[in-house]
Every structure is written in C-alpha cells, then in structure tokens.
Amino acid sequence: MTSYSRRSMSELDDGSAPLISILLAGVMATSGCSSTYAFFSDEDNLDQRAADEIAATTEFLHAAVYSFSLGAGNGAVYDEILSLDDRRVPVQLCSDSDQASPYASSTSFENLGDLDEREHIQVRICEGLNTSDPYASMHNKFMILDGATVLTGSYNYTSNATEDNWENLLVLHDKALAASYDDAFERIWAECTDFSDYQWGD
C-alpha cells in the first residue's frame, strides 16, 4: 500500500518550501489562501492526489491540461471525471492540439474522444497563444473545482509524469485564486474548438 504524506507549505522541510513560497507569495498575500498543499512525484502518486480532490467536486470542473494520456484502467483522474459525468456534474476540458492529435504517440486522442461523448463533459482543442507559430502550445496544467480549489503545477496527466518524472502538484483551496484561474480558463476556452469539429493536421 502506498504511503502518502500530505504536507502544507509550513511543514515542508526539504528546502523546497522557500522556492514555492516565493512563487506564490504575491498571490497568497492578496487572496488570503486558507490552505496550500504541495505534493511531489518521488513521494506521492500525483494522479491519485488530484483524483481525491476531484472526487469531492459537486458543482463544476474546468480543466486546461497540456496532455491527457492517462485513461480508463490506469488513470484515477480519468475515472473520477467519468464519475462526475455519472453524477451530472458539468465538466469542461481543453487540451493542446499537438498532444491530443490522432497522429501523436500518446493515447490522449482516444481518451479525450471518449470523454467528449459523455453527456455532461465538453472537450475542446486549443492551439498556442501565437497561432502563427507552429511550435506554440496550450501548455497550461490546471484545474478549477467548484470555483474554490485549484490544482496546478508541473504535473501532466500522463503515465510518464506519474511514474517516471520529477513532478509537483499544488492544491490550493482559495476562492479568489480560483476565480483568477477561472477567468483565464474562460479566455482559453473561447479560443478553442470543439473536439468533434477540430480539423486535425497531419
């Protein structure tokens, strides 16, 4: 059985707290962040950590994720998103066009297509901010849960990120911060194309 160590920012003693605190200081100073947790892939299963937060979602989930190759049978987040659909909780998820492409080596295309067929899940595909640059991407990795919780960090929802990479996941319970992320999500969402309508290049 995997042993999890849930640690708040004040409990980190491995030298990582100062860096994370610097990165978040400006946001936390203005939003009054009530609880912040940092998880690391060498100590935790980040897919399961994120899934645990999603399981408590009751109103909506908005997600902008660069890659989403964890699917049925090997992805706890994927399974929890399906559970949200079963509970009639609306989900909007956008992902990067190159990562989600049917020509990519990952299983993102199949996973996103399966999700898009569900009644309460909308999937869109997004290109980079600079659409004239073929190498630009939608590189975000964040989720907003019920307008009150943000999941973010370096973590991609892939098997490599879960099992092989040095990654981090931040869980931030704060409504003001969630509102800022949700504003960004709406801007991204408006520039995306519905999964079923996207014209895939080769």
> Which residue numbers are catalytic?
139, 141, 146
- Distance (Å, rounded) from C-alpha 95 to C-alpha 67? 6
Lookup: tokens for 173:
């319970």
- Name the DSSP class of 68: B
